[in-house]
């Protein structure tokens, strides 16, 4: 994992005031392919995590904290939030 990325995630966790349960972080290329990840996944470069969300309230707290610390690539899914800090990809996107 990229150390600057991990530090930024840790600051967001403190701001959110809820545990960040990481369901996916660094992936090898082989594992990423095995689970159906895209070839250009930021997980492969240690620049992405998926944070499990228990409910809508927790999801809001996590999202607000991620935005506050400056993350600008965020995906919201029913069970988790994907966040990455991959500057080689389009910035300021939410999906």
> Cα separation of 54 and 41, whole Å?
24
What whole-number distance in Å separates Cα of residue 76 and Cα of residue 53? 10
How many CB atoms sit inside 10 A of residue 84's CB? 22
In the numeric block, which tokens belong to residue 34?
């095995």
Six-digit token string for 87: 């500057």
pLDDT at residue 66 in the model: 98
Whole-number pLDDT of residue 25: 98
Determine the topology of domain 3-94 in CATH. Answer: Muramoyl-pentapeptide Carboxypeptidase; domain 2 (3.30.1380)
**CA-CA distance, 55 to 27, in Å (whole number)?**
26
User: 71 is written with which tokens?
Assistant: 């993350």
pLDDT at 31: 97
Domain ranges in the chain are 3-94
Which residues of the chain, if any, have pLDDT below 50? none
Helices 3-16 and 56-68, axial angle in degrees (round to 10) = 130
| pLDDT value of residue 86 | 97
């Amino acid at each position: 994992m990229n150390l600057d990325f991990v530090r930024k995630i840790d600051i967001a966790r403190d701001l959110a005031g809820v545990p960040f349960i990481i369901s996916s972080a660094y992936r090898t290329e082989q594992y990423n392919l095995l689970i159906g990840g895209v070839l250009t996944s930021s997980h492969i470069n240690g620049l992405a995590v998926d944070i499990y969300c228990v409910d809508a309230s927790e999801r809001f707290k996590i999202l607000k904290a991620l935005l506050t610390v400056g993350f600008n690539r965020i995906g919201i899914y029913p069970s988790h939030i994907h966040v990455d800090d991959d500057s080689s990809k389009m910035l300021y996107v939410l999906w």
